Amino acid sequence: MRKFITTLFAFAVALTAVVFICNRNYFPAKAKGNDGYMGAMVDKHHFADSHQSPRIIFCGGSNIAFGINSKRIQDSTGLPTVNLGTTGSLGLDFILNEARRTARLKDIIIISSEYYLSNDGSYAAKKEALRIYPPAGKYFKQTPQQWLHDFFVEDLQRNLTVTLSTLLHVQRKGFPTNVVYSRSSFNENGDVVRSFDPHPSHEFLKTFDLKYKLNPNIQLLNDFKDYADKNGMAVYFIYPSFPQSLYNANAKVIDAYERDMQSGIKIKILNHPKDALFADSLFYDTEYHLVPQGRELRTDKIIELLRKEKIARR
């Protein structure tokens, strides 16, 4: 029995070593030059790290990525302005943990999360962020089962493909660089700035449906507020951009959402949902993605909000 256990242990160690060696072409090293949408996370953090505090840091889902002109806000306030927004699929917990790890003393964090944004988000989206930007591993937790599956199955398959492609000189298909959802669509501040028109099909206006529920985000937002207070950071909340027609169809739910936010969160809210409404024609392919003209209109409103709060370099 002892010999069997010893042999089994040696086999397990050898198998792990083989998998580790096969994973030497691990995806993050290969993905830093990736022009996929999530690749913008690398550039956003490079910009954030290269500027001293105080800084303005916007965080949220894609309503932030598509919805602000950070350079105009930077020029208006005199403060370096970072747009950390990528996608709500990462979940609010990931988004706020990213802000925690990025923010410093005297920074100003402005949160704009989508309505009833999932706290947990998609594990696949978080894993993609981790592959492309390894520090993102500190923004979420992996269960032992997820780690084992990733290491022995998913990562191994992916990395063997990379290894074999390299050895056989097989050209791997790259990501198109001339589309809206690509890394090259972002500027250095982290905004989507590629010129594009509204999507020819506004099907999302017909299918979007918002149901009232207890807001799962309030506790996370309050925990973040406590963290910011303890670390000398200011934090505010603004509502996401939203199409006028969808607000009209979901007004009761959104009004209830606002009441819950006003009574539940400790963070100062700078606007109301009605202040973030825009014509349907100003949205691209989802209810949160403004086209460039809409982004400028929203930025006008945000600059005015910041002026009222006297947020500027002193």
CA-CA distance, 222 to 63, in Å (whole number)?
21
Q: Is the pLDDT of residue 2 over 50?
A: yes
Average pLDDT over all residues of the chain: 87
Tell me, yes or no, whether 7 lies in a domain.
no
CA 304, 305, 310, 313 dihedral sign is negative
CB contact set of 251 (below 8 Å; sequence gap of 6+):
none
Q: Which of 119, 117, 116 is nearest to 254 (CA)?
A: 116
Contact 265, 228 (CB under 8 A): no
Structure tokens at 191: 């905004």
Which range has the worst mean pLDDT, 128-132, 210-214, 285-289, 309-313?
Answer: 309-313
How many CB atoms neighbour CB 115 within 10 A? 21
**pLDDT (0 to 100) of residue 74:** 97
Q: Which range has the worst mean pLDDT, 56-65, 108-117, 201-210?
A: 201-210
Across 106-118, average pLDDT: 97
Say yes or no to pLDDT of 161 above 70: no
pLDDT of residue 259: 97
- Domain annotation covers residue 169: no
Lowest mean pLDDT among 84-98, 108-122, 134-148, 216-230: 134-148
Does residue 61 fall inside a structural domain?
yes
- Partners of 268 in the β-ladder: 236
Please tell me the predicted confidence (pLDDT) of residue 28.
44
Contact (Cβ atoms closer than 8 angstroms) between residue 20 and residue 55: no
Q: Are 158 and 135 in contact (CB under 8 A)?
A: no
pLDDT per position as a tens digit, 5-64: 666 655 655 555 555 655 554 444 444 446 789 999 999 999 999 999 999 999 999 999
Helices marked H in the chain: 2-22, 27-31, 40-49, 62-65, 70-77, 92-102, 123-132, 144-149, 155-167, 204-207, 218-230, 244-249, 251-264, 292-308
pTM: 0.86
Q: Which amino acid type is present at position 5? A: I
Domain that holds residue 300: 27-140+180-308
**Tokens in use for 56?**
């303005």
Please report whether residue 102 resides in a domain: yes
* Cα(62)–Cα(64) distance, integer angstroms: 5
What pLDDT was estimated at residue 18? 58
Q: Measured between alpha carbons, how far is 314 from 299 in angstroms, rounded to an integer?
A: 22
- Tell me what the mean pLDDT of segment 103-117 comes to: 98
Lowest mean pLDDT among 31-35, 115-119, 142-146, 297-301: 31-35
DSSP symbols for 148-200: HHIIIIIHHHHHHHHHHHHHTTPPPPPPPSSSSSBGGGB-TTS-B----PPPS
CA–CA gap between residue 75 and residue 178 (Å, rounded): 28
Q: Is residue 60 part of a domain?
A: yes
Residue 31 lies in a domain: yes
Q: Which two tokens stand for residue 71?
A: 């350079």
Q: Are 280 and 205 in contact (CB under 8 A)?
A: yes
In total, how many domains does the chain have? 1
Q: 247 lies in a domain?
A: yes
Instruction: Quote the DSSP letter at residue 113.
Output: P
Query: What's the pLDDT tens digit per position in 244-279?
Result: 999 999 999 999 999 999 999 999 999 999 999 999
* CATH number of the domain that residue 265 is part of: 3.40.50.1110
Rounded to whole angstroms, the Cα distance separating 31 from 43 reads: 13
> What pLDDT is stored for residue 275 in this prediction?
98
At position 147, the amino acid (one-letter code) is W
How confident is the model over 189-203, as a mean pLDDT?
A: 84
Strand order in the sheet with 268-269: 81-83, 56-60, 108-112, 234-237, 268-269
Classify residue 208: in a domain, yes or no: yes
